[in-house]
């Protein structure tokens, strides 16, 4: 086991404290050591890949480059988990979509020079004995302990609680079991609800649970009152990897679906509050452009990253050009 050196640790701390990119962390991230395995799990829907997913792919690469070469990041593409909810229609289409989606993500990695990240279908991951054992342990614990079940309730829609109880909170147990196989998880802030349970279970079945939550992914809106009348979206953002999250697929950029004209319009007409700590979809786009620039030039400089994001936010025209350039490559 090899601890990360002081300089790297400083860079990592700087990255984790960049509020335009990272919302919060769980556990002592600086204590990671040796070969570090990082997980980002995503499901999907029929609407395609939202640009917000790219923020996570780029972040994983950026994180790996910040820490050094002993980092392997994996995207677990939740084919089975995308159809686990009984209310999901077009299950066959979505199951097959997983394979097509992993291929698309592979191409995105290629053009964006993402070298430290791999993508794997969850159905294949769950065929691995080590992972299945951990998932089984987690499921058993959740089924035995009402306190854990109660903690998982906020992760479930109210009308689905009975159904989830009946299934032993299968979705959550599998997500937690999978995450516990890794040293570190990256995800959207809403996943903190799962992770409270993962942290408790982690102490019993694995090592300390660690997670990084990126700043929420926000939809574009011309309406200044949108975030005030949608407090949950304001707090947690949209699910980055589900393009149709909250049925707002028309208010976000979906790769290969949203036209360039529409992207220009979304960016130009978006209402954003003056203080960038509040919900602001331009920050998401700017952080993607800024990370992409440094990854391509192989010049990781966390301090410059924040400065570049702030500059890009101020110049929507430039931001639009940069985002369209990025998208033209990945489509």
Partner 1 sequence: MNNYPVEYQKKLTIKKRLTDYYREQSVKNGLVGMEKILAYTPVELQPRAMRRGLVVAQMGYEDILALISQKKPFTIVSGLNPSSQLHLGHKVLFDMLLELQQMGGELYIPLTDDESYVDGKVDKLLDGTRNAKEKIIPVLRKMGFNADKTHYLVDTEQTELYQFAIELSRYVNMAELTHLFGAESLTNPGQVFYRGCVQLAEILMPQLPQNGGPRHTLIPVGIDQHPYILLARDVAKKVGMVPPSELVMRFFPSLEDPERKMSKSSPESALFLDDKPENIRRKIKRAFTGAVGSLEEHKKFGGVPESCSVFMLQQAFNPDDVEVNNLYDRYVNGDLLMGELKEKTSELMIRELARFREGGI
Applying CB under 8 A, which residues contact partner 1? 223-225, 227-229, 234, 271, 273-275, 278-279
Shortest distance, CB of residue 17 to partner 1, whole angstroms? 22
According to the 3-state scheme, what is the secondary structure of 36-63? EEEEEEECCCCCCCEHHHHHHHHHHHHH
Given a contact cutoff of 8 angstroms between Cβ atoms, the answer to whether 180 and 136 are in contact is: no
Nearer to partner 1, 47 or 271 (CB): 271
Q: In what side-by-side order are the strands of the sheet with 211-214? A: 22-26, 211-214, 184-187, 36-42, 71-77, 117-121
Residue of 207, 204, 197, 209 whose CA lies nearest to 147: 197
Nearer to partner 1, 87 or 229 (CB): 229
Shortest distance, CB of residue 272 to partner 1, whole angstroms? 9
Nearer to partner 1, 18 or 234 (CB): 234
What does the alpha-carbon distance between residue 197 and residue 305 come to, in Å, rounded to a whole number?
Answer: 33
Nearer to partner 1, 147 or 275 (CB): 275
Torsion of CA 52, 56, 57, 62, to 10 degrees: 130
Can you say how many angstroms the Cα of residue 126 is from the centroid of all Cα atoms in its chain? 20
Nearer to partner 1, 28 or 229 (CB): 229
Shortest distance, CB of residue 20 to partner 1, whole angstroms? 16
Given a contact cutoff of 8 angstroms between Cβ atoms, the answer to whether 19 and 68 are in contact is: no
CA distance readout (Å), 157 to 148, 160, 163, 220:
17, 5, 10, 25
Shortest distance, CB of residue 226 to partner 1, whole angstroms? 8
What does the alpha-carbon distance between residue 222 and residue 136 come to, in Å, rounded to a whole number?
Answer: 47
Shortest distance, CB of residue 18 to partner 1, whole angstroms? 21
Shortest distance, CB of residue 237 to partner 1, whole angstroms? 15
Nearer to partner 1, 20 or 323 (CB): 20
């Amino acid at each position: 086991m090899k601890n990360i050196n002081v300089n790297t640790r400083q860079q990592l701390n700087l990255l984790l404290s960049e509020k335009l990119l990272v919302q919060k962390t769980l556990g002592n991230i600086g204590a990671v050591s040796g070969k570090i395995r990082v997980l980002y799990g995503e499901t999907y829907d029929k609407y395609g890949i939202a640009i917000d997913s790219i923020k996570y792919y780029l972040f994983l690469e950026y994180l790996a480059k910040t820490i050094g070469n002993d980092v392997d990041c994996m995207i677990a593409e939740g084919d089975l988990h995308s159809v686990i909810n009984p209310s999901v229609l077009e299950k066959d289409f979505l199951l097959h979509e997983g394979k097509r989606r992993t291929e698309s993500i592979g191409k995105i990695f290629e053009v964006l020079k993402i070298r430290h990240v791999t993508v794997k279908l969850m159905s294949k991951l769950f065929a691995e004995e080590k992972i299945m054992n951990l998932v089984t342990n987690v499921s058993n614990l959740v089924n035995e302990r009402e306190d854990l079940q109660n903690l998982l309730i906020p992760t479930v829609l109210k009308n689905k609680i009975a159904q989830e109880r009946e299934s032993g909170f299968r979705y959550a147990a599998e997500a937690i079991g999978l995450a516990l196989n890794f040293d570190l998880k990256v995800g959207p802030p809403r996943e903190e609800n799962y992770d409270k349970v993962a942290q408790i279970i982690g102490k019993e079945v694995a090592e300390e649970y660690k997670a990084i939550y990126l700043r929420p992914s926000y939809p574009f809106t011309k309406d200044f009152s949108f975030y005030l009348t949608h407090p949950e979206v304001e707090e947690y953002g949209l699910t980055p990897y589900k393009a149709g999250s909250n049925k707002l697929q028309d208010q976000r950029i979906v790769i290969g679906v949203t036209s360039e004209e529409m992207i220009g319009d979304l960016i130009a007409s978006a209402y954003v509050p003056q203080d960038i700590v509040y919900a602001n979809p331009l920050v998401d786009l700017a952080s993607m452009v800024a990370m992409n620039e440094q990854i391509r030039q192989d010049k990781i400089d966390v301090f410059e990253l924040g400065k570049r994001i702030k500059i890009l936010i101020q110049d929507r025209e430039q931001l639009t050009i940069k985002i369209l350039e990025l998208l033209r490559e990945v489509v």
